[in-house]
Structure 1
Amino acid sequence: MPLLDHAIWWHVYPLGAAGAPVRDWRDRPDAHGHRLGRLTPWLDYVVELGCDGLLLGPIFDSATHGYDTLDHFRIDPRLGDDADFDRLIAEAHSRGLSVILDGVFNHLGVGHPLVERTREAGAGPVRLDGDGRPRPWEGHGDLAELDHSDPAVADLVVEVMEHWLGRGIAGWRLDVAYAVPVEFWAEVTGRVRRNFPDAVFLGEIIHGDYLALIEEGGLDTVTQYELWKAIWSSIRDVNFWELAHALQRHDEFSARALMQTFVGNHDVDRIASRVGDAGAALAATILFTLPGLPSIYSGDEQAFRGTKGQGAAADDPLRPALPDTPDQLSTVGQWMYNLHRELIGLRRRHPWLARARVEITDTSNPELTYAVTGDGHRLDVRLTLEPEVTAELRFDDGETFRRSW
């Protein structure tokens, strides 16, 4: 699929980036607004960074954080309305940017009309416990699990997907895809592709069978959390044996499918908070030298900090408001932005990396070398953590890259 062979995504969480209130907002007169338009001034920034896609977090009507959906067909009133959405899509497309939306199809917010209808009927598309109450997802009482064995759920998901695909999006990120039966995804993706054959499906999987979601569920790619964990953990602990093992696994996955790679997202501590500036720079270098479909979580390219907290506001530090325009960013992170532009440029000049293979050539605790090969090309990578953090890249066409931090 052409889009997946070249796409690099800028991942943004709209409710946070646009400064929308997250909790207890329904009665606030200032809660409703046309905040989705606040992303438009960032589109040129995304293009200049080198990305060609927006991976948007939830934008549908929800109770709080966006993952407790109340209406899949309505833009969250904190972000705006259909007109705001159409303008954003038009502005993105005019710059050559594709857009993927975040779809929550494992569960609903308990305030969704389907929840009450199911309770009144005693059965339906929402799972009920023995006491007739909606079954909470992973103990979260504000989230009600969908019953994916009910044909009405597949019908709903297909209708939602096709509605927004028809409005101009390129595909879907499928929240907690690992918790949904692969048979359900196979049916849904098969039905949607009859009308939208080029639709892209990215599944979130934290634990489970990565390849089954792709090969049996009909998805195009899944989140490579194993690699994410190994990148930051090996840098933090000065233990490249862990990364070497993960790269071997990543190569096995890459031989059969394109994996969605990242070093940060809206659910995890900022990479610079985990491993510092030098470690974050090395992590970005690793990301853009490996096969896969890379994404950058907005702000990581500026060395933003943020660690997960406790309670209902735990994710707030990971999802800050962006300035009104990129010009208002602090200059402190400019070096990291420049590094990302350079690394993305390398990848653009060597597009074969997306579907390449990886071979470990040498490993010690503080040093790792690996070769990336594909389409008759080769990249040799040497990373060190001690006595200084360095990365050396040598392409077979003579291009080189060397940095120390």
Structure 2
Amino acid sequence: MAHTPAPGAQRLLDHAIWWHVYPLGALGAPAVLEGGVDAPVEHRLPRLVAWLDHVVELGCSGVLLGPVFAASSHGYDTLDHDRVDPRLGDEGDLDQLIEEARGRGLSVLLDGVFNHVGADHPMVHDPDRAHLLKQGEDGRPAAWEGHEGLVELDHGNPDVEQLVVDVMLRWLRHGIAGWRLDVAYAVPADFWARVTARVREEFPDALFVGEVIHGDYAQVVADSDLDTVTQYELWKAVWSSIHDTNCWELAHALGRHDALLDSFVPQTFVGNHDVTRIATQVGEEARRSRSRCS
């Protein structure tokens, strides 16, 4: 049976419009964190405060932040889940951003990278914590999908479950509304079910959005107890209907979407950090013309 979202999470599912921003890129941070987690702090994160009134004017009701934790480069190669990336600022900067957002009625989601850590994460080089990592056939930590800079966590290990619970609770106590779960499709569904159940004991209204690209979305939600997953099928059909005048794909995707609403509210989106922006995807001519699928 699928998880029934608490009232607070359901309100976000039904009504929230998220402004998705990738702070490392939007704020012009260096591509690489030179010096590791103890590098000099650059207070870039407060610059996002100036954008919040614009976010409200756009009609958004929430801010979905890309990775903000210390990482080697792009943010998804985490070095420390408990420390704000020095290229962005410090904990006080993040607290200020959350407070300023909430003061404008904006909820904040953080990007939780819990499938893997960066290859330079201290646990990768600590024999006492090697058990937290999935081991490859060669006995070395397993690289995620062949990316040597990313090392998979062992989600069958109770200590990994505890680590994720602790991180989630730590930042929920700072006032965020919930988590976007990176690469949720690669993590066992029962792991998410155990973690979210424990976190909801303290934060029943927390929202959990799983990044899922394809597959049986409704079954993933039912098995994982996540509140929702990303609706990539509809995203693809939207730009295809404009770029290729593929009205059949859009009609099929909308039918699928309507059926999904019987069990959960999918997280729809126009674009995100992983895909080409829709204006670029459809091209100049299509941007200027009306959709022929109306």
Q: Could you tell me which of 128, 137, 148 is aligned with 1:141?
A: 148
Higher relative contact order, structure no. (Cα contacts within 8 Å, ≥ 6 residues apart): 2
**Paired residues for 1:363-378 under 5 Å:** 367-368=292-293
For residue 101 of structure 2, give the secondary structure of its aligned residue in structure 1: helix
Measured in 1, the distance between the counterparts of 2:204 and 2:285 equals 42
Per-residue deviation, residues 80-109 of structure 1 (Å, max 9, x unmatched) = 001101111111111011000000000000
Q: Shift in Å at residue 125 of structure 1?
A: 1.1
**CA gap 1:162/1:24 in 2 versus in 1, 3 angstroms:** closer
Q: Shift in Å at residue 208 of structure 1?
A: 2.4
The residue number in structure 2 matching 1:10 is 19
Measured in 1, the distance between the counterparts of 2:139 and 2:183 equals 24
For residue 224 of structure 2, give the secondary structure of its aligned residue in structure 1: coil
Question: What TM-score does the superposition give when structure 1 sets the normalisation length?
Answer: 0.67
Structure 1 position 93 matched with structure 2 position 102: yes
Q: Letter of the aligned partner of 2:227 in structure 1?
A: D
Per-residue deviation, residues 201-233 of structure 1 (Å, max 9, x unmatched) = 000011222112211111111100011111111
Q: Shift in Å at residue 116 of structure 1?
A: 1.8
Q: Shift in Å at residue 251 of structure 1?
A: 1.1
Per-residue deviation, residues 38-83 of structure 1 (Å, max 9, x unmatched) = 1000000000111010000000000000000010010000000011
The residue number in structure 2 matching 1:297 is none
**Paired residues for 1:32-111 under 5 Å:** 32-111=41-120
Q: Shift in Å at residue 252 of structure 1?
A: 1.2
Identity %: 61
Structure 1 position 239 matched with structure 2 position 226: no
Pairwise CA RMSD: 2.0
Q: Letter of the aligned partner of 1:126 in structure 2?
A: L
For residue 108 of structure 2, give the secondary structure of its aligned residue in structure 1: strand
The residue number in structure 2 matching 1:253 is 260
**Paired residues for 1:193-272 under 5 Å:** 193-272=200-279
Question: What TM-score does the superposition give when structure 2 sets the normalisation length?
Answer: 0.91
Measured in 1, the distance between the counterparts of 2:267 and 2:35 equals 35
Measured in 1, the distance between the counterparts of 2:105 and 2:284 equals 31
Could you tell me whether the CA contact under 8 Å between 1:125 and 1:153 is conserved in 2? yes
Structure 2's unaligned 5+ residue stretches are 1-9
Per-residue deviation, residues 376-402 of structure 1 (Å, max 9, x unmatched) = xxxxxxx1xxxxxxxxxxxxxxxxxxx
**CA gap 1:61/1:69 in 2 versus in 1, 3 angstroms:** same
Measured in 1, the distance between the counterparts of 2:47 and 2:263 equals 39
Measured in 2, the distance between the counterparts of 1:204 and 1:129 equals 24
Q: Shift in Å at residue 166 of structure 1?
A: 0.4
Q: Could you tell me which of 194, 199, 203 is aligned with 1:187?
A: 194
Measured in 2, the distance between the counterparts of 1:40 and 1:282 equals 35
Measured in 2, the distance between the counterparts of 1:147 and 1:246 equals 35
Higher gyration radius (CA): 1
Measured in 2, the distance between the counterparts of 1:31 and 1:13 equals 21
Aligned length: 284
**Paired residues for 1:308-327 under 5 Å:** none
For residue 144 of structure 1, give the secondary structure of its aligned residue in structure 2: strand
Q: Letter of the aligned partner of 1:72 in structure 2?
A: H
